[in-house]
Amino acid sequence: MAGVRRETLQAWALILPALVLLVAFTHWPAVATLVDSLYTTPKGSRPPRFVGVENYVALMDDPVFWRALHNNAVYALVTIPASVVLALLMALAVNTALPGRPLLRMAYFTPTMLPMIAVANIWLFFFTPDYGLFDRIVGVFGMGRHNWLGDAATALPAMMAVAVWKEAGFFMIFYLAALQAMPPDLKEAASLEGSSRWNFFRRVTLPLLMPTTLFVLVNAVINAFRLVDHVVVMTRGGPDNATTLLLYYIYETGFRFWDTAMAATLTVVLLALLGTLAIFQFGVLGRRVHYR
């Protein structure tokens, strides 16, 4: 009995330092944010006042919020599959005996090591109308110039392209690690059965990669809602909110307009969204994953 209690105490002593910090800067602010969202923003000498769900009602009436939500949904639905599929293709490519394989692997991975804030500046130049790189390239093919970031129709796709470019290489590493850890016997067995390349990939490789895919997906989903650095640098949400993502709107509301209550309300919505996605991923997708 005493031994059990001692181990419990020891275990808690080992966990506590990390747990305290974790709770203090993740769980506590989440709860505090929820509470804040039920009050008004203190202004000058006016103290916060309890208003219940009034902030949420106001949010429902805010067209920019709906725009941000819509943008973020589109952004996630495009960038997640695109970067995951590209990552898998890249991993498959550098997993074969390709000429210049190490160089290629490096090329794919480089964007991961560059700060988004830094590369956003470079992309800004690429998207510059008339004499930017993209307009030069399309110009060669006789197409007209385009105001990539200044046109509401192309601004968000441009941002998505940057995100996919930034993320795919990072996810590739995980796929590559998984591919290289795959037992070679499998291929031999498959070749005996004379299965085609595509069949082998679909029936053997892909299922074996499911745990990796889940891991990568979780990361991709988080990043789709977490990474807004390029929005800050390249468009500031414009034109007319075409590239406003939820976290950027939180930043703007909280630290440009100092409307902390509204920013808290937005944060709660984002947290609820992330929570729902987490449950979906681990619950529904997780069950389909065949762990070895």
Partner 1 sequence: MIRRRTLLATSAAALAAPAVSKAQGVTKLSIYYPIAVGGPIPAIIDGYCKEFQTQTGIEVTPVYAGNYGETMTKAVTAIRGGTGPQLAVLLAAEMHSLQDMDILVSLDELGLDAEGRKWVEGFYPAFLANSRVDGKTWSVPFQRSTAIMYYNKAAFAEAGLDPDKFPRTWAELAAAAAKLTKRDASGRVVRWGVKLASDAGNAQWTFGALANQAGHILMNEAGTETYFNHPKAIEAMAFWRSLAFEHKATPEGISAWPQLSPDFLEGNAAIIQHTTGNLTNVRDKAGFPFGVAGLPGKEGPRTVVGGGNLYFFKQANAAERAAALKFARFLSAPERAADWSIRTGYIGTRPDAYETPALKEYVTKFPPADVARGFLPVAVGELSTFENQRVYKALTDNIQACLNGAKSAAQAMVDTQAEADRILKPYKRA
Partner 2 sequence: MSGRAIGLQPARIRAIGMAPIGTRWLEIVGAWMLGLIWVLPLLYAVWTAFHPAAYATRFDLFAPLTLHNIQLAWEAAPFARYFLNTTILVTLILVAQFVLCTPAAFAFARMEFPGRDFVFAIVLLQLMVMPDVLLVGNYRTMVHLGLVDTILAIALPYLGSAFGIFLLRQTFRMVPQELDDAARLEGCSLLGRLWRVYVPLAKPTYIAYGLVSVSYHWNNFLWPLVITNSVTTRPLTVGLSIFASTDQGIDWSIITAATLMTSGPLLIAFLLFQRQFVQSFMRAGIR
Which residues from 177-216 bind partner 2, rule CB under 8 A?
177-178, 180-181, 184-185, 187-192, 195, 197, 200, 211-212, 215
Cβ neighbourhood burial of 213 (10 Å; 0-12, 13-18, 19+): buried
Q: How far apart are CA 24 and CA 198, in angstroms?
A: 50
User: Residue 69 in contact with residue 76, Cβ under 8 Å?
Assistant: no
Q: How far apart are CA 193 and CA 120, in angstroms?
A: 49
> Looking only at residues 221 through 250 of this chain, which bind partner 1 when binding is defined by CB under 8 A?
236-241
* Residue selected from 48, 251, 285, 289 as contacting partner 2 according to rule CB under 8 A: 251
Nearer to partner 1, 129 or 286 (CB): 129
Q: Which tokens in the block code for residue 123?
A: 């992309």
Per partner kind, with CB cut-offs from 5 to 8 A, the member of partner 2, partner 1, none near residue 188 is: partner 2
Alpha carbon of 277 to those of 168, 216, 243, 281: distances in Å?
Answer: 21, 14, 22, 6
Spatial CB neighbours of 233, under 8 Å, sequence gap ≥ 6: 117, 120, 121, 124
* Residue selected from 30, 51, 64, 277 as contacting partner 1 according to rule CB under 8 A: 64
User: Residue 254 in contact with residue 260, Cβ under 8 Å?
Assistant: yes
Q: What three-state secondary structure class fits 46?
A: strand
Q: What three-state secondary structure class fits 261?
A: helix
Per partner kind, with CB cut-offs from 5 to 8 A, the member of partner 1, partner 2, none near residue 118 is: partner 2
AA identity, residue 156: L
User: Residue 168 in contact with residue 87, Cβ under 8 Å?
Assistant: yes
Nearer to partner 1, 87 or 261 (CB): 261
* Contact range with partner 2 by CB under 8 A, out of 30-38, 46-54, 61-69, 74-82: 30-38
For residue 220, the minimal CB distance to partner 1 (Å) is 28
Q: Does 260 bind partner 2 (CB under 8 A)?
A: yes
Q: Does 211 bind partner 1 (CB under 8 A)?
A: no
Q: Does 266 bind partner 1 (CB under 8 A)?
A: no
User: Residue 229 in contact with residue 117, Cβ under 8 Å?
Assistant: yes
Task: Return the residue matching tokens 């695109």.
Answer: 82
Nearer to partner 2, 51 or 277 (CB): 277
- Nearest 10 degrees: CA dihedral of 137, 141, 145, 146? -70
Q: What three-state secondary structure class fits 17?
A: helix
* Residue selected from 51, 58, 78, 274 as contacting partner 2 according to rule CB under 8 A: 274
Could you tell me how many residues of this chain bind partner 2 (CB under 8 A)? 108
Site string for partner 1, 107-146 (x = CB under 8 A): ---------------------xxxx-------x--x-xx-
Nearer to partner 1, 42 or 81 (CB): 42
Q: Does 98 bind partner 2 (CB under 8 A)?
A: yes
Per partner kind, with CB cut-offs from 5 to 8 A, the member of partner 1, partner 2, none near residue 22 is: partner 2
> By the criterion CB under 8 A, which residues form the site for partner 1?
43-45, 64, 128-131, 139, 142, 144-145, 147, 149-152, 236-241, 252, 255-258
